[in-house]
């Protein structure tokens, strides 16, 4: 773990990285904004790192391809197979979770977690036992799968389409699917996802889930410490939360790469799991992950 100190002008100078633990010890209402980086040690790729999904897609789709297309609504509607070709990489894993997820759970157990705004769709928070009411899944989840046809309300358990996702085969809606071949032959060439099931994850071009709107304003007011972890903080509106929290609320970054477009009071640069052990050690907390072996 590489500790770097930056000081924002509005806060007293922070001289020592261990003050991250002091800030956590004092805080009562911590917001944790998390991203794909906290799950990479489970073998789930993030988006933007060298080994991330975007790098894999760029080499597969060829030069000029835009890897964000895979998670873009308009593209899904024209070519759902693109999403189905890659989605298995971010499917929720069974049971496993990381030391950092364990650390978030510990914040909750200690009564310090106001909310975990997760951009992740892997539901690993559930495996770690973080209480559901403490989690806002900003980009949805695989918990549900819905028919993509606009006038069909068919919705089912997300896990029912996991076999298709694993086999990279489109899953069809039992209500619309019988009609689909006719539609495809006629006017719906631009709507190839007619009758295709889509997991309840938020694509680029869609609004965030209602739960986000319902809690964010109040949480921003009540937050007394912000921890940003495992995210490049590039996807709005989550990337904007940091600008909406009062400037005297301390901010800690825990990430492999530095973030240059905003300032933090403490930057713990390195693996989030190392940061979890480092902070838990200073706080005298035991994580239930002493023997964890990271995959990356």
Work out whether strand 140-147 and strand 113-118 pair parallel, antiparallel, or are unpaired: unpaired
Task: Check if the beta carbon of residue 148 is closer than 8 Å to that of residue 76.
Answer: yes
Is the Cβ of residue 41 or residue 149 nearer to ligand CNA in the bound state?
A: 41
Residue in 14, 23, 33, 47 binding ligand CNA, rule: CB under 6 A: 47
Provide the strand spans (E) within the chain.
Answer: 2-5, 30-34, 113-118, 135-137, 140-147, 155-157, 197-201, 225-229, 251-255, 266-269
Q: Judged by CB under 6 A, does residue 256 bind ligand CNA?
A: yes
Residue in 36, 91, 208, 252 binding ligand CNA, rule: CB under 6 A: 36
Q: Judged by CB under 6 A, does residue 276 bind ligand CNA?
A: no
Q: Judged by CB under 6 A, does residue 46 bind ligand CNA?
A: yes
Residues between 104 and 123 with contacts to ligand CNA, criterion CB under 6 A: 119-122
Residue in 77, 106, 115, 139 binding ligand CNA, rule: CB under 6 A: 139
Q: Judged by CB under 6 A, does residue 240 bind ligand CNA?
A: no
Q: What is the DSSP string of 148-216?
A: -STT---EEEGGGGHHHHHHT---B-TTTGGGHHHHHHTT-TT-TTTTBEEEEEPPBTSPPPHHHHHHH
**What is the token pair recorded at 79?**
């070519």
Which of the residues are catalytic?
139
Q: Give the footprint of ligand CNA on this chain (CB under 6 A).
A: 35-37, 39-41, 44, 46-49, 52-53, 90, 119-122, 139, 230-232, 234-235, 255-257, 271-272
Q: Which residues are annotated as a binding site for Zn(2+)?
A: 147, 152, 173, 188
């Amino acid at each position: 773990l590489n500790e770097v100190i930056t000081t924002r002008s509005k806060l007293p100078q922070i001289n020592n990285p261990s003050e991250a633990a002091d800030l956590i010890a004092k805080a009562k209402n911590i917001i944790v904004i998390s991203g794909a980086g906290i799950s990479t040690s489970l073998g789930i790729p993030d988006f933007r790192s060298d080994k991330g999904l975007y790098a894999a897609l760029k080499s597969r789709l060829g030069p000029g391809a835009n890897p964000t297309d895979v998670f873009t609504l308009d593209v899904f509607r024209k070519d759902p197979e693109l999403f189905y070709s890659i989605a298995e990489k971010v499917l929720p894993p069974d049971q496993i979770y990381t030391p950092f997820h364990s650390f978030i759970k510990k914040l909750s157990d200690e009564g310090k977690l106001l909310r975990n705004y997760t951009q992740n769709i892997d539901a690993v928070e559930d495996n770690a036992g973080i209480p559901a009411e403490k989690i806002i899944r900003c980009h949805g989840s695989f918990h549900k799968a819905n028919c993509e046809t606009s006038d069909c309300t068919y919705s089912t358990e997300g896990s029912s389409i996991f076999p298709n996702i694993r086999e990279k085969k489109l899953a069809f809606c039992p209500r619309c699917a019988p009609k689909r071949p006719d539609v495809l032959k006629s006017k719906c060439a631009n709507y190839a996802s007619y009758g295709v099931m889509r997991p309840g994850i938020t694509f680029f071009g869609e609004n965030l889930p209602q739960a986000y709107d319902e809690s964010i304003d109040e949480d921003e007011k009540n937050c007394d410490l912000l921890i940003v972890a495992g995210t490049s903080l590039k996807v709005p509106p989550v990337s904007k939360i940091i600008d909406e929290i009062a400037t005297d609320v301390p901010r800690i970054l825990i990430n492999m790469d530095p973030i240059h477009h905003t300032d933090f009071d403490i930057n713990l640069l390195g693996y989030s799991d190392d940061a979890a052990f480092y902070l838990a050690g200073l706080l005298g907390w035991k994580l239930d992950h002493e023997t964890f072996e990271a995959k990356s």
